[in-house]
Structure 1
């Protein structure tokens, strides 16, 4: 790949739904190329299909890209394809005037009746009929009868397409609106796009678009068709079947830095098997030619692990700030002074920011929200005896985590129990769960009075 500053790449999503993680991955690959070369990433919203587009989806795309951090000198836009309608229509007219396009009034069923095959492409029936514009007449591009179209692809070499096998495809519908193929080519040319990096599902369109570029007097871009993203069953990620919306992951508590890092690993790997890298290092190392052409597995467990690593790398003040939206949505009032004490403990435990509320709720609820399975597991004999002994041991204890641990260890030792077995009923009595923050630090923050009250209440519940 050239590293000339003249490189201009584009990300051109259609606003027809929530922003797909596959689209985000393509945007990041483009952004990395632009940042690395000193070039430009153009954001172009392909909004010409009014029946499917929504301003809500457009705003979602722009917000999602901003969340991922796309801005700065390499970023241009957003532009809207609908603003170029006059250019698209002019290009269609030029192609017809040059004899590179013709009008066709064939319906799909007409083609099937002539060919006997409903899956066969258009048979060129109207090529030489000399039809003019009129109701029900679409404009088709006249593909060459002979020769080949070679697509130079940075990942796939030089896929070669026989021109004779390419049908005369529609570039303008009967209502005059142009199709994706022509609009894309016109916009890429007018915006000076030099490299087109997109999903491999578009590879079959590349020879058609390249022919359009050439017919309109432009030099074809350099292509790079990146691999599809698949789920654990190796099926292509689907909006109907899989969680694919970037907004959903953000709402669940994934950090932008972690999501950006993970998406860059879908098809590409930095040297030395490293997985967690700062963005500037990724930009320096990324080479689109090194992207693997095999399908990339979207591993949610791995994404979650990487997110946990990023959470633990945050300064605690930043962690608190990232938790605020989740705390503000909690069904109880959070004392931020208390949360600031709990935050360093919670930061080592959560993999998603959304896990923060159930992790710390015990400190803010009037009484624990008992998990039934945790209660059943921990509150077996001799739970009541352990709680009674712990109450006695804690009444006059210096209230710090180390002493609280030592005293509970002594309670267990008197009964021939290890600390893990001894602390289980205490943890559930105080927090409502068997798993959570470090117990003794949590008790220190909760305070003597509330700790003893909760142990007494749990013991009463056991013996009633």
Structure 2
């Protein structure tokens, strides 16, 4: 069996969006499915007007954040201009390509004429060698190089997702493969790159299907083995329309800023167009073990933020506390929280991570531990207006002072004894204590939260709060 080599080849003309990330995930998973499989990264940066270093950095950082480790690369197309020229020169010499001196104005006039006659716009081959015998070369015109596409026959392939696809060569014209400035066009550069990088499987969006017959003809002209192709349906927004900035097409790194874990996003995107039975949640190792391009859906998938949030919630709830602490610390500090000298953040993670859907929400839940006490006097009076509540709080304060080993277990013992003696339920005593100690009616696990606040702080906050009534 030949070596499996997949690649992701984004263009650094914008941010790394969800569609590119999903393609990268599928390429990674397919390569990792096979022993010795290789996953490669190429940066297609030939659009010099739109390509930016910032976008390159986002791609590299996005791959790193998603933990999609690549075996080779990144390869930059602009570093390979000499190689493209070498191939073009060979094609010119063999008659596989030719110089075209048609001006932009000529081609526009040809297009308008064809459209007026309801003919599919296409280059008419006017600078093919046999059509320009004795024709003078116009002065001041820098030629482009065109590939001489076959005139007849059918070009086809068995797509790993869509099945058999065929195009008539009469539908294709002579493709420009190199511009006058020596920069290769997409369809040409990608073929040369994939040949040189020994790519065995080309996985990309279905919007590239129309490019594939042109590329297959180039492979054949260059005497190279044609790779397998797998075209993926696009991802639609929640409204079932093409993804856009309005309906959820954010940059991958925006999801990091919003507080998603990379493993949750990888898991979610993998399920957008592929599945393994009823398994909704799985590890990357399982993804690599189970993944098969032939099991990808032919229909577009719709982005569902609620499903992503639920999945992220599950990953946060089971995440390592020390890791969560590292991820949440800067978010707490960005909110003005002071961590050092207060409750151990990893222990706070243990009691706060079960419900939040994002790290941002988790950081919000942690703020009661790391901000100055914010207490509403009216709320204090409200929760202590009940005589039973006031009596229960005073009794808790008295007994808390006597607790030597300030643990959640002992704190709960004090609360339980008060509830049993007074015949009251937990909220009667817990809600006012929360308001006095934290400034909130609700909190994470009550006894464990009190333990993390520390005995001295709990007693001091209750004492100062009772003075407000």
Class of the TM-score when normalised by the shorter of the 2 chains = 0.7 to 0.9
Is 1:297 aligned to residue 302 of structure 2? yes
Q: State the partner residue of 1:66.
A: 64
Counterpart selection for 1:50 from 48, 51, 60: 48
**TM-score (structure 2 length as normaliser):** 0.85
**Inter-CA distance 157–116: structure 2 relative to 1 (3 Å threshold):** closer
Q: Quick one: distance in 1 between partners of 2:40 and 2:21? A: 14
Q: Quick one: distance in 2 between partners of 1:341 and 1:219? A: 57
Q: Quick one: distance in 2 between partners of 1:121 and 1:397? A: 88
Q: Quick one: distance in 2 between partners of 1:312 and 1:456? A: 35
Is 1:439 aligned to residue 438 of structure 2? no
SS at match of 1:17: coil
SS at match of 1:244: coil
Q: State the partner residue of 2:434.
A: 427
Q: Quick one: distance in 2 between partners of 1:434 and 1:201? A: 53
Q: State the partner residue of 1:169.
A: 175
**Inter-CA distance 159–434: structure 2 relative to 1 (3 Å threshold):** farther
SS at match of 1:188: helix
TM-superposed CA distance for 1:196, in Å, is 0.1
Q: State the partner residue of 1:179.
A: 185
Q: State the partner residue of 2:282.
A: 277
Matches within 5 A, 1:39-438: 39-71=37-69, 75-97=71-93, 98-103=95-100, 104-107=102-105, 108-117=107-116, 120-124=120-124, 126-128=126-128, 129-130=131-132, 135=141, 137-239=143-245, 241-271=247-277, 273-334=278-339, 335=341, 337-368=343-374, 383=385, 385=387, 388-398=390-400, 400-403=410-413, 405-406=415-416, 409=419, 419-420=426-427, 423-438=430-445
Q: CA RMSD in A?
A: 3.0
**Inter-CA distance 403–274: structure 2 relative to 1 (3 Å threshold):** same
**Which whole-Å deviations, capped at 9, do the CAs of 1:114-158 have from their partners, x for residues lacking one?**
224499422415244437596254333333222211022111111
SS at match of 1:15: coil
Residues 227 and 292 in structure 1, CA contact (< 8 A), matched pair in contact too: yes
**Inter-CA distance 116–266: structure 2 relative to 1 (3 Å threshold):** closer
Q: Quick one: distance in 1 between partners of 2:466 and 2:459? A: 11
**Inter-CA distance 282–120: structure 2 relative to 1 (3 Å threshold):** same
**Which whole-Å deviations, capped at 9, do the CAs of 1:28-82 have from their partners, x for residues lacking one?**
11111111112211111111111111122212211221222233xx611111111
In terms of mean alpha carbon deviation, does 161-170 or 279-288 score higher? 161-170
TM-superposed CA distance for 1:421, in Å, is 6.9
SS at match of 1:397: helix
**Which whole-Å deviations, capped at 9, do the CAs of 1:6-31 have from their partners, x for residues lacking one?**
12111111112221121111111111
In terms of mean alpha carbon deviation, does 158-167 or 450-459 score higher? 450-459
TM-superposed CA distance for 1:420, in Å, is 4.6
**Which whole-Å deviations, capped at 9, do the CAs of 1:329-361 have from their partners, x for residues lacking one?**
341311365334322101223332222332122
**Inter-CA distance 428–280: structure 2 relative to 1 (3 Å threshold):** same
SS at match of 2:65: helix
Is 1:25 aligned to residue 22 of structure 2? yes
In terms of mean alpha carbon deviation, does 389-398 or 244-253 score higher? 389-398
Residues 18 and 57 in structure 1, CA contact (< 8 A), matched pair in contact too: yes
Q: Quick one: distance in 1 between partners of 2:422 and 2:144? A: 84
Residues 28 and 260 in structure 1, CA contact (< 8 A), matched pair in contact too: yes
TM-superposed CA distance for 1:405, in Å, is 4.0
Q: Quick one: distance in 1 between partners of 2:463 and 2:389? A: 7
TM-superposed CA distance for 1:437, in Å, is 1.1
**Inter-CA distance 395–199: structure 2 relative to 1 (3 Å threshold):** same
In terms of mean alpha carbon deviation, does 112-121 or 257-266 score higher? 112-121
TM-superposed CA distance for 1:394, in Å, is 1.6
Q: Quick one: distance in 1 between partners of 2:356 and 2:90? A: 60
Residues 386 and 425 in structure 1, CA contact (< 8 A), matched pair in contact too: no
Residues 12 and 46 in structure 1, CA contact (< 8 A), matched pair in contact too: yes
Q: Quick one: distance in 1 between partners of 2:418 and 2:362? A: 27
SS at match of 1:151: strand
Q: State the partner residue of 2:406.
A: none
- Flag structure 1 segments of 5+ consecutive residues without an equivalent: none
Residues 343 and 452 in structure 2, CA contact (< 8 A), matched pair in contact too: no
Q: Quick one: distance in 1 between partners of 2:388 and 2:257? A: 41
Is 1:12 aligned to residue 2 of structure 2? no
**Inter-CA distance 394–14: structure 2 relative to 1 (3 Å threshold):** same
In terms of mean alpha carbon deviation, does 172-181 or 152-161 score higher? 172-181
